[in-house]
Amino acid sequence: MMRVRPEFHRRGKEDYVKRSRRLHSLAWLVLMATLVAGLTISLKTARAEVPSRPPTFSNPLNINNAFFPFQPDGLKVYAGSDHGTKVKAIDHYLTATRTFRLNGKNVACHILVEEAYEDGELVERSLNYFAQADDGAVYYFGEVVNIYANGVIVSHEGSWLVGGATLPSDPPGIGNAPKPGLFMPANPELGDVFKQEDLFPIVDETDEVVGTDLDVLVPAGKYDGAIAINESSRLDPATEIKWYAPGVGVVKVQAKGETLRLEFSTLGQSQDK
């Protein structure tokens, strides 16, 4: 979500767990420019494949989007470093679901639990909610965030849900979003621009597809046909790039001084290890 969202850094979180990003340096800009060139980035505007009309959800739990599939009971494990600190992330694909109200209708969502660790210590655990629209695009209905320090929850900052808090377990002050964010278009193409999170100043993220048909090599194996998505935010001057592989989802995350790579996954494509 890796914002570790599923996957690496959360936008606008307090620095309870020493994970704040640093301002861009000239060297980082040069590095990013090189990476951008290697990914054949195009400065195109958003393409027609990105939905512009409100989504409909006839079978929202059937999440078979190529770049963000959901397999109940699935598991993914990542490892890497954050400015010299060893980090680990674990994604749990739950069988449980949660229902939200959208435009007067119920929408059932799958739950992805993401855990982030630094030097073996749990620093963040979040529950993330996803549903797939009839056109194949996956939508993000929000997240409930628990940030830890020394084993104790110290913040829920960055929490937001479509419709706000509706369960006794939802933290107070949670953001109330009028609509879900577009997490992954049905057929992402180079230059597509969309927003996974759009509830400023609680959360904000703009995503652009900056590479397609890429090969990515990580400890879990070699993944073919991946896309690269650049994430930016009005809440943070830093950016990061995530690589999504068909049938797997995120396999690699890269930001200044930070790297996270997939080590194990029960979700998979044909791999050459």
Cβ(271)–Cβ(255) below 8 Å: no
Q: Is residue 93 part of a domain?
A: yes
Write down the pTM of the prediction: 0.84
Q: Is residue 273 part of a domain?
A: no
Share of residues in the chain with pLDDT > 70 (%) = 80
pLDDT value at residue 50: 77
Asked whether residue 3 carries a pLDDT value surpassing 70, the answer given is: no
Q: How far apart (Å, rounded) are the C-alpha atoms in residues 23 and 191?
A: 25
Placement of tokens 């660790």 in the chain: 117
Structure tokens at 123: 């620093």
Asked whether residue 190 carries a pLDDT value surpassing 90, the answer given is: yes
> What's the whole-number mean pLDDT along residues 101-105?
96
pLDDT value at residue 107: 98
Asked whether residue 91 carries a pLDDT value surpassing 90, the answer given is: yes
Contacts of residue 235, defined as CB under 8 A and 6 or more positions apart, other chains included, come to 11, 12, 200, 201, 203, 204
pLDDT value at residue 240: 97
Asked whether residue 192 carries a pLDDT value surpassing 60, the answer given is: yes
pLDDT in tens, 27-42: 344 344 444 444 443 4
Relative to beta strand 175-177, strand 193-199 is unpaired
CATH number, residue 184? 2.40.360
pLDDT value at residue 32: 47
Q: Is residue 5 part of a domain?
A: no
Q: How far apart (Å, rounded) are the C-alpha atoms in residues 237 and 240?
A: 10
Handedness of CA 16, 17, 18, 22 (dihedral sign): negative
46-50, 74-78, 172-176, 263-267: which range is least confident on average? 46-50
Share of residues in the chain with pLDDT > 90 (%) = 78
pLDDT value at residue 269: 75
Asked whether residue 7 carries a pLDDT value surpassing 50, the answer given is: no
> What's the whole-number mean pLDDT along residues 139-157?
97
Cβ(6)–Cβ(112) below 8 Å: yes
Domain span including residue 152 = 15-265
Asked whether residue 223 carries a pLDDT value surpassing 80, the answer given is: yes
pLDDT value at residue 52: 64
pLDDT in tens, 225-250: 999 999 999 999 999 999 999 999 99
Q: Is residue 1 part of a domain?
A: no
Q: Which residues pair with 152 in a beta bridge?
A: 149
* Secondary structure class of 33 (helix, strand, coil): helix
Q: What is the DSSP letter of 272?
A: B
Asked whether residue 150 carries a pLDDT value surpassing 80, the answer given is: yes
Asked whether residue 148 carries a pLDDT value surpassing 80, the answer given is: yes
Q: Is residue 272 part of a domain?
A: no
pLDDT value at residue 25: 41
Q: How many domains does the chain have?
A: 1
Would you place residue 6 in the very low, low, confident or very high pLDDT band (cuts 50, 70, 90)?
Answer: very low
171 or 46: which leads in pLDDT: 171
Omega cis (within 30) before 178? no
